[in-house]
């Protein structure tokens, strides 16, 4: 019975990891599409703004995250 439980736990862990990897890959593909489709001058800071180069700053500014 303990082996059955361990096998079930192992299957659940592998499924969860696989789902996470799939979501990460999908998000990476979406991000590549978003970054590639942006015109180059949209990321240029205005005269009074400091440049924001971090991924979090870009996502927050463009998507309100």
pLDDT in tens, 12-27: 999 999 999 999 999 8
For residue 21, what pLDDT is reported? 93
Inside any domain, residue 35: yes
Inside any domain, residue 25: yes
Inside any domain, residue 32: yes
Inside any domain, residue 34: yes
Q: Which residues contact 65 (CB under 8 A, 6 or more apart)?
A: 56, 59
Inside any domain, residue 2: yes
Inside any domain, residue 51: no
Threshold 0.75, pTM exceeds: no
The domain in which residue 22 lies consists of 1-41
Average pLDDT value for the chain: 78
Count how many domains the chain has. Answer: 1
């Amino acid at each position: 019975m303990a082996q059955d439980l361990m096998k079930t736990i192992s299957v659940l862990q592998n499924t969860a990891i696989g789902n996470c990897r799939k979501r990460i890959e999908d998000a990476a593909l979406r991000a590549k599409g978003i970054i590639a489709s942006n015109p180059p001058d949209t990321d240029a800071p205005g005269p009074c703004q400091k440049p924001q180069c971090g991924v979090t700053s870009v996502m927050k500014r463009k998507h309100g995250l």
